Amino acid sequence: MAMMLNYLAFQSLPSVALLPTRAQRSLKLSVTSSLYSSSKGKPLSSGRAKEANINVVHRMSPEKVEIFKSMEDWARSNILTLLKPVEKSWQPQDFLPNPASDGFIEQVNELRERTKDIPDDYFVVLVGDMITEEALPTYQALINSTETFYDETGSDNTPWATWTRGWSAEENRHGDLLNKYLYLSGRVDMKQIEKTTQYLIGSGTDFGPRASTPCALTIYTSFQERATFVSHGNTAKLAMKYGDEKLAQICGTIAADEKRHETAYTKITGKLFELDPNETIMAFAKIMRSKISMPAHLMYDGHDENLFDHFANVASRIGVYTARDYGEILEHLVGLWNVEKLTGLSGEGREAQDYVCGLAQRLKKVEERALTRAMKEPTVSFRWIYGREV
């Protein structure tokens, strides 16, 4: 699920799109963290940790619980089948020099030769993607905090709990593979990267209160998985352009996983639209009205308070994830779920439908301005690349 839906690109937008990071933070419900010292009430680690949020388990009405219950058989045969059996799954080692082989050192040297001319800005984006993937425990914890996906024993056999564990197990390989590749490349400061990951997992995340019901979370994750598919696909294309076919293959393989995950979450959402169109369209509109807040937006390296924004801006500048992508994902989902054709909605439901259907067009109007802004942002020093500026 790594992604960096770009705040900066949208900072000038009104409420139709994304709220700036700080405004979004003000919506947070309360402050909690073991990272706070109990005596002084100050954060022990990250300035961002204080902005971390309690993930509230939102109670669903019995009818809503019933809807998810009624989908269990369907989920077993339509969603769990989208998980790949472990024996048929790729593993990071498939793409990395084999430390037990005689040619290990030569393979590492070849890897370093391939990556030596790749520009720093690409590495900044790849590092940000990797760190976002590495914060996976946070995302699984958050998904488990919803009533439907809740895994009470840690090994529940509901299809929702089974899916979440299988999905997490697949995702776990993404950060692992990128981490090892980056380590072997010798192009980045691993200690700074590792610190950022520790800060991020310690800070948690905030998908926003509007993404806290199972229905909203499913829509949110549909968006996220598609965005991740797009961004990993673009890092693959760039790696190819820079002549590192192996890295292109790695990013492309991860992108393919994200696509399969997107299929699962969009299918669940599609079913929700079928069973409860009114509630689902209202959840969709609510999420889009606030914004899609990023899973890694509390990213911090111990120095740069705006690290996520800086990373997202570079991603936009090199075309890995832009304001245009955000609008296109929305458009794609609206079409996929036939949102325009929903019928039998309440007044509020129709209002939500109109809002969502018109949003992509409204975003298009400000897209160019957002892209231009991102291009004009000043260069920033990143500790991940030994303080060099991009």
In the complex, the residues that contact Fe ion under the rule CB under 5 A are 1-2, 133, 171, 174, 225, 258, 261
Q: Which is nearer to Fe ion, 211 or 342 (CB)?
A: 211
Tell me how far apart the alpha carbons of residues 297 and 204 are, in angstroms, rounded to a whole number: 10
> Other C-beta atoms within 10 Å of 38: how many?
6
Q: Is the Cα dihedral 362, 21, 28, 52 positive or negative? A: positive
Q: Is 257 a catalytic site residue?
A: yes
Identified catalytic residue from 174, 232, 297, 310: 174
Q: Kindly state the smallest distance separating residue 86's Cβ from Fe ion, in Å.
A: 17
Q: Is 261 a catalytic site residue?
A: yes
Q: Is 303 a catalytic site residue?
A: no
Q: Which is nearer to Fe ion, 174 or 317 (CB)?
A: 174
Q: Kindly state the smallest distance separating residue 5's Cβ from Fe ion, in Å.
A: 14
Identified catalytic residue from 170, 171, 244, 328: 171
Tell me how far apart the alpha carbons of residues 344 and 346 are, in angstroms, rounded to a whole number: 7
Q: Kindly state the smallest distance separating residue 152's Cβ from Fe ion, in Å.
A: 24
Contact yes or no for 2/134 (Cβ under 8 A) = no
Identified catalytic residue from 90, 263, 276, 377: 90
Q: Which is nearer to Fe ion, 2 or 299 (CB)?
A: 2
Q: Is 120 a catalytic site residue?
A: no
Q: Kindly state the smallest distance separating residue 298's Cβ from Fe ion, in Å.
A: 18
Place of tokens 């959402």: 269
List Cβ<8 Å contacts ≥24 apart for 99-103. Answer: none
Q: Kindly state the smallest distance separating residue 3's Cβ from Fe ion, in Å.
A: 8
- Tokens matching residue 116: 């030596």
Q: Which is nearer to Fe ion, 28 or 180 (CB)?
A: 180
Q: Kindly state the smallest distance separating residue 133's Cβ from Fe ion, in Å.
A: 5
Identified catalytic residue from 121, 134, 244, 257: 257
Q: Which is nearer to Fe ion, 262 or 279 (CB)?
A: 262
Q: Which is nearer to Fe ion, 1 or 111 (CB)?
A: 1
Tell me how far apart the alpha carbons of residues 390 and 109 are, in angstroms, rounded to a whole number: 26
Nearest C-alpha neighbor of 311 from the set 381, 208, 264, 366: 381
Q: Is 297 a catalytic site residue?
A: no
Q: Is 258 a catalytic site residue?
A: yes
Give residue 208's Cα distance to chain centre: 13
Identified catalytic residue from 51, 133, 262, 309: 133
Tell me how far apart the alpha carbons of residues 170 and 22 are, in angstroms, rounded to a whole number: 32
DSSP code of residue 304? -
Q: Is 133 a catalytic site residue?
A: yes
Q: 256-293 burial by CB neighbour count: b if 16+ within 10 A, else e?
A: ebbbebbbbbbbbbbbbbeebbbbbbbbbbbbbbbbbb
Place of tokens 């692992």: 176
Identified catalytic residue from 261, 266, 367, 384: 261
Strand partners, 36: 43
Question: What positions carry a catalytic annotation?
Answer: 90, 133, 171, 174, 225, 228, 257-258, 261
